[in-house]
Structure 1
Amino acid sequence: MAFDAIAGVAHAPAGDETGIVLLTHGAGGNRDSPMLVKLCDEWASRGWLAVRYDLPYRRRRPKGPPSGSATADQAGIVEAVALARSLTKGPVLAGGHSYGGRMTSMAVADGLAVDVLTLFSYPLHPPGKPERGRTEHLPLITVPTVFTHGTSDPFGTVEELRSAAALVAGPTELVEVTGARHDLGSKTLNVPALAVDAALRYCDPNPAKFR
């Protein structure tokens, strides 16, 4: 399969794909995270090829927190985007949950070219430690960036995240999930649909519109 090299699982649309979406997991998770599965199903239902994949540290061992270097995990994201670019002439979107989203955002800040960055429960700081913000690279991001965040997330309040998003050089949108914590679980809102709707607003055939 095309995505075996990145330990990826593809959700294919019914017809020809519009483009490819790449999503990866949080620090303690893997590609089979229920949220990633739901997100990829939603993207596929909208005509996109959606791929959920494991970061390099998760490919090395099935459980546990990130091990090795963040640089190696970012290299895995670069590899995934390069593979997607080789398979489609359409847009390539990338992002992930928590740690996976943060690593993707750092790769994009370092020059990785994606059309839209979609981040879920961005870990703005460790719980209870707002002084340890993870925002240094955000001003280097120039592509449209969508943050989907729960209002009860201990890794950052919505107000803190809104301030952090203002640092991004490209256009941003914040999807607030009322009452949700870090897992973005909600009994009243269709989180995947809201997140995909927001990202699609930036998938314009004329990228210059957002520069």
Structure 2
Amino acid sequence: MSAAILFDGPKDAPFTLVLAHGAGAPMDSPFMAAVAQGLGARGRRVARFEFPYMVERRASGRKKPPDRQPVLLECWRAIVAELGGGSGLVIGGKSMGGRMASLVADECGVRGLVCLGYPFHPPGKPEKLRTAHLETLRTPALIVQGERDSFGGRADVEGYALSPAIRFTWMTDGDHGFRPRKASGLTEADNLAAAIEAVDAFLAACGG
């Protein structure tokens, strides 16, 4: 990996959580920064990186579509190797970044997997599921999902046949970015804080 890696939290933490961004926003988006910095403040070591298309977008200023899946997966393998191998890492990310992590988690032998808003299907196309590999996933996993996420809300997802290694934390009335509606009485900050707390508890269960 030649791209920059952003770190939060103490260098002497027992392991590192590595987070990849979603399809449209970079590693330093408000969502990614809030999660990484929130966990760092709790004593977790968090690394963020960008896929090649986002690195190029940052350099050129021109919007580019995501790289093809083989490139994204190879990027994940490279970052795992660069950061010392799977045994010292929990991997995951926002939406597409978390989905790509889930595809290499077992292969890389990581401690755990954290998906923040998993894209179970394209919006409006619930029949096009992206769950086949999640049925046999062996890596302990946490999926933090908005209850009304258009990529897979609670009513749909709770009916899926997924691996028992996967646990869920539901963001009350949250959308794909965990934003609730005003009528819920909650704020985006409330749900982000709940997400950070859930990830922190999961990391503790992973041995840290």
Query: Given the two structures, how large is their TM-score scaled by the length of structure 1?
Result: 0.83
Q: Is the 8 A contact 1:147 1:172 kept in 2?
A: yes
* One-letter identity of the residue aligned with 1:77: W
Matched residue of 1:188: which SS? helix
Which position in structure 1 is the counterpart of 2:146?
150
Q: Which amino acid aligns with 2:132?
A: E
Q: Which position in structure 1 is the counterpart of 2:194?
A: 191
**Could you list the runs of 5+ residues in structure 1 that have no partner in the other structure?**
206-211
What does residue 65 of structure 2 align with? 66
Task: Verify the 8 A CA contact 1:151 1:180 in the aligned structure 2.
Answer: yes
Structure 2: distance between partners of 1:158 and 1:65:
31
After superposition, the Cα gap between the structure-2 partners of 1:65 and 1:144, relative to the gap in structure 1 and judged at 3 Å, is farther
Higher mean displacement: 148-157 or 47-56: 47-56
Shift of 1:187: 4.3
Identity value in percent: 30
Determine the C-alpha separation between the residues in 2 that align with 1:161 and 1:84.
33
- CA RMSD across the alignment: 2.3
> Residues of 1 paired with 2:140 and 2:129: CA distance?
21
Correspondence 1:49-88 to 2 at 5 A? 49-62=45-58, 64=63, 66-85=65-84
Report what 1:209 is aligned to. Answer: none
Mapped to 2, the partners of 1:133 and 1:36 lie a distance apart of 25
Matched residue type, 1:106: L
- The answer to whether the Cα contact below 8 Å between 2:90 and 2:110 also exists between their aligned partners in 1 is yes
Which residue identity does 1:113 align to in structure 2?
Answer: G
Please state whether the residue corresponding to 1:146 is helix, strand or coil.
Answer: strand
Report how many residues are paired: 196
Runs of 5+ in structure 2 lacking a partner?
Answer: 180-187
Q: Structure 2 counterpart of 1:196, which letter?
A: V
What's the offset of the Cα at 1:18? 2.0
Change (3 A) 1:121 1:52: same
Check if 1:174 corresponds to 2:168: yes
Cα 1:17–1:204 change in 2 (3 A) is: closer
TM-score, normalised with respect to structure 2: 0.84
Judging changes above 3 Å, is the alpha-carbon distance between structure 1 residues 145 and 203 closer, same or farther for their aligned structure 2 residues? same
Matches for 1:25-36 after TM superposition, within 5 Å: 25-36=21-32
Q: 1:187 and 1:38 mapped to 2: Cα distance?
A: 9
2:153 is matched by which residue type in structure 1?
A: T
For 1:199 and 1:30, locate their aligned partners in 2 and report how far apart those are by CA, in whole Å: 24
Equivalent residues of 1:57, 1:73 under 8 A apart: no
